[in-house]
């Protein structure tokens, strides 16, 4: 009996609520359901709904769209969201994920000026990971650049593969900004790669988060490699639609990103001759 000509992995394709900014977290659920995404990743930030577990549960139930991941409030603009203590933020992110049946908490490495947090970060993430079934997937970042100067803003390192974590998130906009080899990073992460932020970039000093296929990153190749290796984590569309001139244009970008992702996750395999 011939094998199927197309192999599609078990990976679910989710929409990050950050992808609809400046529209609301609630709008992200509506768009994800309408376009046929498998779920959402909640970016916890200054929108009060993103911080409210019961409000998120109601949105998930109403739109019949599961919450697959929670992105802890690690950004500069979220330094006071869910406490100013970084470990408290992660504890609350874990509690939210457990209550919402999300399998993953996405976390950035510390900023270098968070010295004690950075010193304890690797061991602390392992400790928290051992206390729950939720995955703590640490995300690759990038050096900050201004003109010809480069500043290392993250510790222990923006390249998270240099440290020992149980699970990783790879972000392809961040590999573009870091000017690093995305496929090589996927290989280094190996079976510890549990989560993908899919976006594109052109190597600018800015973190661009372009729609996949509009930059220089090997988005298609990464997806095809994941398909061939049986990746069963989540692929999350995390793109910047701030410049969309209308809600319709924003939704078209998110539909294009979903179609691109599903196309390249369906990898061709050799069919044996009869």
- Rounded distance between C-alpha atoms, residue 7 and residue 22, angstroms: 37
List the CATH number of the domain containing 122.
Answer: 3.20.20.150
Cβ atoms of 69 and 105 closer than 8 Å: yes
- Rounded distance between C-alpha atoms, residue 183 and residue 271, angstroms: 26
Tally Cβ neighbours within 10 Å of residue 240: 18
- Residues in the chain where the model's pLDDT stays below 50: 270-274
Nearest to 70 by CA among 52, 83, 84: 52
pLDDT of residue 205: 87
For residue 13, being part of any structural domain is answered with yes
Tally Cβ neighbours within 10 Å of residue 113: 9
Nearest to 199 by CA among 187, 186, 216, 183: 216
Say if pTM beats, i.e. exceeds, 0.95. no
Q: What Å distances lie between residue 177 and 41, 136, 173, CA to CA?
A: 22, 23, 6
pLDDT of residue 138: 98
Write the Ramachandran bin of 33: left for phi over 0, alpha for psi from -120 to 50, otherwise beta: alpha
| Mean pLDDT for all residues in the chain | 93
Structural domain boundaries enclosing 216: 7-141+151-266
pLDDT tens readout for residues 134-145 = 999 999 999 998
For residue 198, being part of any structural domain is answered with yes
For residue 273, being part of any structural domain is answered with no
Nearest to 104 by CA among 138, 127, 58: 138
The secondary structure of 227-265, three-state, reads HHCCCCCEEEECCCCCCCCCHHHHHHHHHHHHHHHHHHH
For residue 274, being part of any structural domain is answered with no
Q: CA geometry: angle at 261 spanning 192 and 244, to 5°? A: 115
For residue 272, being part of any structural domain is answered with no
Tally Cβ neighbours within 10 Å of residue 220: 15
For residue 146, being part of any structural domain is answered with no
pLDDT of residue 274: 38
pLDDT of residue 268: 53
For residue 167, being part of any structural domain is answered with yes
Structural domain tally of the chain? 1
For residue 2, being part of any structural domain is answered with no
């Amino acid at each position: 009996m011939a094998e199927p000509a197309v192999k599609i992995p078990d990976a679910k394709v989710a929409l990050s609520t950050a992808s609809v900014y400046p529209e609301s977290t609630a709008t992200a659920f509506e768009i994800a359901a309408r376009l046929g995404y498998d779920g959402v990743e909640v970016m916890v930030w200054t929108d009060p709904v993103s911080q409210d577990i019961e409000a998120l549960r109601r949105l998930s139930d109403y739109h019949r769209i599961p919450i697959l991941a929670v992105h802890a409030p690690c950004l500069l603009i979220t330094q006071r969201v869910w406490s100013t203590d970084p470990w408290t933020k992660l504890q609350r992110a874990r509690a939210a994920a457990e209550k919402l049946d999300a399998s993953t908490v996405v976390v950035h490495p510390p900023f270098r000026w968070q010295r004690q947090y950075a010193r304890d970060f690797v061991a602390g993430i392992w400790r928290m990971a051992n206390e729950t079934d939720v995955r703590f997937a640490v995300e690759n970042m990038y050096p900050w650049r201004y003109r010809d100067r480069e500043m290392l803003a993250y510790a222990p390192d923006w390249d998270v593969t240099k440290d020992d974590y149980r699970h990783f998130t790879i972000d392809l906009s961040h590999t573009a900004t870091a000017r690093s080899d995305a496929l090589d990073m996927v290989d280094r992460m190996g079976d510890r790669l549990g989560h993908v932020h899919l976006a594109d970039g052109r190597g600018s000093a800015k973190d661009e988060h372009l729609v996949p296929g509009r930059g220089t990153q090997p988005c298609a190749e990464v997806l095809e490699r994941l398909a061939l290796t049986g990746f069963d984590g989540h692929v999350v569309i995390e793109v910047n639609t701030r410049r969309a001139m209308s809600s319709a244009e924003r939704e078209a970008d998110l539909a294009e990103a979903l179609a691109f992702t599903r196309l390249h996750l369906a990898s061709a395999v050799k069919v044996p001759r009869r």
